[in-house]
Structure 1
Amino acid sequence: MLIGDVARRSGVSARMLRHYDSLGLVRPTGRTDAGYREYSSEDIRRIFHIESLRSLGLSLREVRRALDDPGFTPAELVDDLIRQTRDRIAHETELLTRLRRIGAAEPGGWEDVLQVVALLRALGSKSAGQRQRAALSSVAEVPVPVEALVEAVLNEADPNVAGALQWALAQLGDGALDLLAEGLGSPEAEVRKRAVQAIAEISGGQATELLQDALAGSDVVVRRYAALALGVRGVADAIPTLIDMVVQEANDVDAADTLSALASRPALADQIATSLVERLARGTIESSARRRLTQALADIPGITTSRALADLAHDEDRGVALTAAYILGTRDL
C-alpha cells in the first residue's frame, strides 16, 4: 500500500508518515519499482499502535521504546502519565477558576483585568502583609469575586490576614454565605472553624440561621464559635453551650461575658441563673469548674442569682464559698 493510501485509511498525514520513517518508528517494508514507499499490513498495524500510544500522551521517543524494547514494562510509564495528567488538569482547573473570577468581576477594560489579576495574585502571595493589603483593598479599590475571597478566608492561617478577609466578606452581606455554608461541611476541621468565624462576622437573619445549624452540629469547636456569635445576637439556644465552655475552660472568659450580655435581657436572666445553678449542683464537676460557674454568676442580675450566691457562700468547697461571698458583697454595694 502506497503512502497516500495509508494516509487516507489511517488518518495520519503523509508528512507525519515520512517523519515516522526518518525517526525509524515505521519504515515501510518495501519500495515500488519507481522507488515509492510501500507499506505492508504489519507496517499499518504498527502505525495504529503508534497512534494509540500517542493518544495516551506518550512522546514519540516513549512510543519507540514501548514498541521496540523487549524489557519495557508499561506500569511505571502509565503511572507517570497519570501524574502528568493530574498536574495538567490541576493547572487547567486553576486557570479556569482564575478566568471565571476575572469574568465575575465584570472588568470594563484591560486595565480592570490587570488590576483583578494583580489582586488575585496578592491574595495567594506567600507574604502575609501582601495578603492582608489585598483583603483590605478588595472592597475599597478593586472588586474581587466573592468566591476568591471565600477561598482565601477558608485557607488563611494567619489571624491578622484572616481578620481582614472576614471584614471584607462582611462588607458583602449575604453574598458569601452560601459558599461559607459549604465550608461548614468540609472534612477539614480548620476549614470548618474558619467558615464559622467568617459567618459570625456577617449580620442578618441568614447568617444567624447558619450559626444555629452550626450550633447543632457535631464539631465541638464550631459549636463554641457559633454559641459566642449567637449569644451576642441574643439567641437563647446558645446558653447550654456557653455554660459547657465555662465548665470545660474553653474560652471560658468570653463565654461568661456572652452569658452576661444575654442576661441583660430580663427574660433570659433567670434562665441563665437557673442553668448555672443546676450545673453547679452536679456532683461530677471538678472544684475548679464550680468556681468558674460561680464567677459566671457575678454579672447575672436578678433574685435567682442572689439566692444562689447566698447558698453558695456556705458551700463545702471553700474556694466556691469565698467566691460567692465576695460576689454577694459587691452586689450589695
Structure 2
Amino acid sequence: MVLINTTSGIPLNTRVASALGAKNSSVRLQAALEVGSNPDPGLLETLVERCAVEPDFFVRDMLSWALTRFSPRITLPRIRQELDSERAQARSQALHTLGKIGDKGAWAWITRDMLRDADDEVARTAWRVAVALVPEGEKKALADELVVQLGRGDRSVQLSLSRALVDLGDVIEPALEKAAANPDPAVAAHARATELLLRDPETGFNVAIDEARRVIALGPERAAAAAAAAAAAAAGVAEPSEVAEPSNAACVAAIGEPTETTESTGAVDAVEAVDC
C-alpha cells in the first residue's frame, strides 16, 4: 500500500526519499527519524544507499538507527552487500549498523581484510564491531589479530585500537606482552600504553602513551628512578640523583615530536612531549 501525504497528495515514500537527499542536514535528520519511526520496507534501499554518501555524522547515525527498526531478516542481507563496497564510507557505515543491530551471526562477516582495511575509519569501526560480536572462544584469536595493528595511525586511531583491545579483557595480556618487546618503538609504546589502560581504565590515553614512551626512551630502571625522584621532589624531600638524566632535547628526539589529532567522538588533547 502506498501512503499518501494528505496535504500535498505526494506518496509518503517519495516525499521522505526526497527529504533524505535535501541540502539541509536538519531536513535529512528529520526524514531519517521519520523512516525509523514508521519503517517501510520500500525505503530500505534508499536508506542503505544514503548511508554511503551522507556527509553529516549525526544524520548517518540516524540512518543506521532507522535501519535497526526494520526486520533483521531483510536488513542484514542488504547490509552485508555493503561490506564489499568500493566506497569506504559504505563499508564503515555498514559495519556500524551491524554493531547497532548486534546480531552475533554477523561475526562471521568480519574478515581479516576489514580489520586491516587501509581506510582508518573502516578499520576502527571493524575493530569495535568485532569486539562486540566475537564469540567467547574466538577472543584470543581476535586479540592476536588486532595487536598486528599496534603503532598504526595517529593518536585517535591508536586510542580506538587500545579501547577495542581492552574491551576484550585479560585475554589480550600475552599478545601485548609480546608486542611490548617489539623493536619498533611505536609498536612497543602502543602495547605498553594499552597494558596501562587494561590495568587502570581511568588512565588517560595521552598519559599512558607518554609513560610508555618514557619507559622505552629511558629503560625501565631509569624510568623508575626518574619517577621516584619526581615523587620525592613533589613531597619536598628530593635527593640528588645518582642517575644522569638525558637532556630534554635528547628525550624529545627519542620520543618524537608532539602531534595534534581529533577523534570522531570528540577532540583528543594535544600531545605534549615528555618532560624528562
How would you bin the TM-score normalised by the shorter chain? 0.5 to 0.7
Find the aligned partners of 1:171 and 1:109 in 2 and give their Cα distance. Answer: 22
For residues 181 and 138 of structure 1, what CA distance do their matches in structure 2 show?
21
Match of residue 119 from structure 1: 16
Alignment correspondent of 2:247: none
The residue that corresponds to 1:10 in the other structure is none
1:107 alignment counterpart:
2
Residue 234 and residue 185 in structure 1: after superposition, are their counterparts in 2 closer, same or farther (change >3 A)?
closer
Instruction: Note the C-alpha offset of 1:246.
Output: 3.6
- 1:210: how far off? 2.1
CA separation in 1, counterparts of 2:43 and 2:67? 10
User: For the residues of structure 1 that align with 2:160 and 2:117, how far apart are their CA atoms?
Assistant: 21
The CA distance in 2 between the partners of 1:171 and 1:316, in whole Å, is 49
Gaps of 5+ in 1: 1-105, 264-268, 302-311, 327-333
> What are the equivalent positions in structure 2 for 1:20-35 lying under 5 Å apart?
none
The CA distance in 1 between the partners of 2:220 and 2:152, in whole Å, is: 17
Residue in structure 1 matched with residue 35 of structure 2 by the alignment: 138
Letter in 1 for 2:85: S
Contact 1:243 1:276 in 2 (8 A): yes
Report the aligned-residue RMSD: 3.3
After superposition, give the CA deviation of every residue in 1:105-150 in whole Å (9 maximum; x if it has no partner). x325675962222111101112111111111111214635211111
Contact 1:184 1:196 in 2 (8 A): yes
Distance across 2 between alignment mates of 1:152 and 1:132: 12
In the alignment, is residue 243 of structure 1 matched against residue 142 of structure 2? no
Asked if 1:207 corresponds to 2:94, the answer is: no
The partner residue of 1:155 within 35, 46, 53 is: 53
CA distance in 1, matches of 2:189, 2:107: 32
Equivalent in 260, 264, 268 of residue 166 of structure 2: 260
Alpha-carbon contact 1:146-1:169 (below 8 Å) kept: yes
1:194 is displaced (CA, Å) by 2.8
Shift in CA distance, 194/145, structure 1 to aligned 2, threshold 3 Å: same
1:194 paired to 2:100: no
The 1:171/1:219 distance shift into structure 2, 3 A limit, reads farther
SS state at 2:11 partner = helix
User: Counterpart of 1:330?
Assistant: none
Aligned to 1:227: 127
CA distance in 1 between partners of 2:78 and 2:14 (Å): 21
CA distance in 2, matches of 1:262, 1:252: 16
Quote the Cα distance in structure 1 between the aligned partners of 2:93 and 2:220: 37
Q: In 1, distance between residues paired with 2:61 and 2:32?
A: 9
Aligned residues: 202
Residue identity opposite 1:232 in structure 2: A
Cα distance in 2 for partners of 1:202, 1:211 equals 14
Say if 1:260 and 1:300, in contact at 8 Å, map to a contact too: yes
Matching residue's letter, 1:242: L
Q: Is the 8 A contact 1:150 1:176 kept in 2?
A: no
User: Contact 2:28–2:59 (CA<8 Å) still a contact in 1?
Assistant: yes
Contact 2:104 2:134 in 1 (8 A): no
Bigger Rg over Cα: 1
Instruction: Quote the Cα distance in structure 1 between the aligned partners of 2:113 and 2:77.
Output: 14
| Deviation readout 1:162-201 (Å, 9 max, x if unpaired) | 1111111122252322222222222233332332233232
- Whether the 8 Å CA contact 2:52–2:90 is kept in 1: the answer is yes
The Cα offsets for residues 285-312 of structure 1, whole Å up to 9 and x where unpaired, read as 12x44222111112436xxxxxxxxxx9
CA pair 110-137 structure 1, distance change in 2 beyond 3 A = closer
CA positional deviation for 1:219:
4.8
Q: Using the TM superposition, give the Cα deviation of residue 159 of structure 1 relative to its aligned residue in structure 2, in angstroms.
A: 1.0
CA separation in 2, counterparts of 1:296 and 1:217?
19
The letter of the residue matching 1:150 is V
2:68 matches 1:164: no
Q: Provide closer, same or farther for how the CA distance between residues 319 and 120 of structure 1 changes in structure 2, counting only shifts above 3 A.
A: farther
Question: Residue 211 of structure 1: CA displacement?
Answer: 2.5
Distance 1:319 1:136, change over 3 A: farther
